[in-house]
């Protein structure tokens, strides 16, 4: 117990960016018990790397969402209603399909000007059907309370096979 506390204190002390939590009514989002509302930046980074691995790489949508996403999280994707269950039902088939893969390029944890903690995951989605692979440049943005995801936005751009810019997309 003491060594755990010490480790947590050391993590806080070594964190480059102080975590200034916004006052949220935590109970309104129904965060899963596997999340920690007052996690510091390093803890949030580690949790979001685990979330990204489970969700995008391992494609375990329900496992990742039931561990890290609030039951009542707010959805801004135009094709999916708010709430964890709606997201799992909608994303399950997409991620479950063997033709689709998701390659995480970068993951950023930071704070916006209102001191909300934001997680930005930049990734490449690939869909291989017949002999063609269609690639999409995706930015998923999440607002978190500690290690709990409570809100989501995304922006998608279809990749061209021969873009003008050799540094395009990533």
Nearer of residues 15 and 100 to ligand NAG, judged by Cβ: 100
The one among 94, 107, 120, 139 contacting ligand NAG by CB under 6 A: 94
Give the pair of three-digit tokens for residue 98.
């063997």
Give the pair of three-digit tokens for residue 116.
């909300």
Location of structure tokens 């399909």: 97
How many chain residues touch ligand NAG (CB under 6 A)? 20
**Pair 152, 142: CB distance under 8 Å:** yes
**Pair 138, 156: CB distance under 8 Å:** yes
Within positions 102 to 131, which residues make up the interface with ligand NAG, using CB under 6 A? 114-115, 127, 129-131
Location of structure tokens 């200034």: 20
Binding region for ligand NAG (CB under 6 A) out of 43-51, 53-61, 97-105, 151-159: 97-105
Residue 160 sits in the site that holds ligand NAG (CB under 6 A): no
Site map 6..45 versus ligand NAG, x via CB under 6 A: --------------x--xxxxxx--------xx-------
Cβ neighbours of residue 9 closer than 8 Å, sequence gap 6 or more: none
Nearer of residues 106 and 160 to ligand NAG, judged by Cβ: 160
Strands 69-75 and 148-158: parallel
CA 82 to chain centre: 15
Question: Interface residues with ligand NAG (CB under 6 A)?
Answer: 20, 23-28, 37-38, 94, 97, 99-100, 114-115, 127, 129-131, 134
């Amino acid at each position: 117990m003491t060594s755990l506390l010490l480790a947590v204190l050391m993590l806080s002390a070594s964190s480059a960016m102080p975590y200034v939590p916004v006052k949220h009514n935590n109970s309104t989002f129904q965060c899963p018990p596997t999340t920690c509302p007052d996690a510091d930046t390093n803890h949030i980074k580690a949790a979001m790397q685990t979330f990204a691995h489970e969700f995008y790489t391992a494609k375990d949508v329900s496992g990742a969402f039931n561990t890290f996403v609030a039951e009542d999280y707010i959805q801004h994707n135009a094709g999916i209603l708010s709430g964890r269950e709606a997201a799992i039902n909608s994303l399950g088939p997409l991620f479950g399909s063997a033709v689709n893969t998701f390659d995480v390029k970068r993951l950023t944890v930071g704070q916006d000007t209102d001191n909300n903690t934001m997680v930005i995951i930049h990734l490449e989605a690939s869909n291989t059907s017949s002999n063609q692979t269609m690639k999409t440049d995706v930015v998923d943005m999440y607002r978190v309370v500690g290690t709990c995801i409570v809100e989501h936005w995304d922006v998608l751009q279809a990749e061209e096979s021969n873009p003008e810019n050799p540094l395009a997309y990533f």
